[in-house]
Structure 1
Amino acid sequence: MAWGIALLTLLFICGCKESSLPARTQPTTNATPKADEEDTPITEAEVPMPANYAEAVESLSGYRDAIRNAIASGRLKDAHRPLDATDIAVDRLPGIARASGVPRRHWEQIVTSSEDLREALDEIHSQIDAHHKPDYALHAQAIDEALARLQAVATEIETPANKTANETDR
């Protein structure tokens, strides 16, 4: 017991002296490991706002192409950002359609086609998140049909013959 008290006394005395070691400083670099880009949620600010409905549909087609190409090449992590961007773009699409003067008779088609697109891409996103290679071909028809319906609205509102008819339909 006497040895234990002596040892504690010695540690206490040595521990109270100023150390000759340099003082601890904060690390100059971020000690937190950087998350992979795929694990970082994309924000609305990172997704460009299209100028009009036709441009929005074109953006959705571009995201689809990026997703399809990433899956085909086996680079599944490269599909994450366009999948996230598509989700944000689909949320914005009805508002963009209204702001672009798309007639009300097309709004239901825009909403249902957007939901169909989202559902198909959500299946793919879930498979990627589970670290499984998705079968893009299984969802390709639903994705392409939804985009074709959205594009049909863009084409219809852009044709010169329909411009005057659409203006009276608003």
Structure 2
Amino acid sequence: MSDDALEWKASLSRPSMTLSRISVLLGMWALTLSVVNLTIGAYSGKKALWSGFLLSGDSNTNSSDLVIDDVLFLIFGLSLCYLGIMGIRKSLGENDGILDSMLTDISSFAGNLFSVDNTLMRLIGSWLIVIGLVFYLLWSIFNETWVDPGVYSVMISLVSFGYGILIFLDSES
């Protein structure tokens, strides 16, 4: 095999740290939605039917029974978390602590929110992420609907622009 083919195969078994972090965050979000859906209902006090959202069928129900959608979405969230954690672990190496890495990431992110030592763009990127997450959480709590495409689009725009700014700044340094 050529060196390019070997390098390409090796890159498939070595996911990026960014993709792994995104996978963990999306998995945690899916797990949160699963718990909310099973306890109080994620769709205006009703239970969301995840397959209905994807396949344009019935998107909610008044039934509190456990359906296959709940199980599949829960497995999906757990799988994303697992894959992300394995990717982070592989990027750090087997001996490095994944918990230490995550705590360091969280503390440096929190430091970006109130630091005047960093660039203005790092401050803006961090605050865009926080504003997007707070907007989604407050809207969902006050309006009792956790699955609203309009709210998703606002939140995702803010979070992705903020995260993109931070990634861009990290790539420059």
TM range (shorter): 0.3 to 0.5
Question: What TM-score do you get using the length of structure 2 for normalisation?
Answer: 0.36
Question: What TM-score do you get using the length of structure 1 for normalisation?
Answer: 0.37
